Amino acid sequence: MIELFQMGGMLFMSILTIQLAAVVFFATKCFLSKDQSVGQIKNVGLLAVITGILGQLIGMFSAFEAIQQMGAVSPAMLAGGLKVSMITTMYGVIIYIVAILLAIIIKNRK
């Protein structure tokens, strides 16, 4: 898990982790205060997806720039770079899924 965190890039993975903490904070706040407003949870989760996609785009841009400078690159090396660039997007989507699940749980509790 730590290896994926480092491979995804410390900047974007740290930002996404802070967003995950914000999702948990807002969910705890809603759960403890008996507040049914789950909009903040969903919004932070959606922001995590967008942040993950931005991280992927920036990673792909820098990878393609390096490929352009190197010239010929093997398909395996290209596939490895694309795989690494998807880590932030996957993390962002996982955070969004957690946010949606927490929002459903909070909304449906009695």
Give the pLDDT of the chain (110 residues) as one tens digit per residue. 778 778 888 899 999 999 999 999 999 998 888 776 788 999 999 999 999 999 999 988 888 888 888 888 888 888 888 888 899 999 999 999 999 999 999 988 85
Is the entire prediction scored with pTM above 0.85? yes
pLDDT of 16 reads 95
Q: Which residues of 40-63 are buried (b: 16+ CB within 10 A; e: fewer)?
A: bbbebbbbbbebbeebbeebeeeb
How many angstroms separate the CA atoms of 24 and 21, rounded?
5
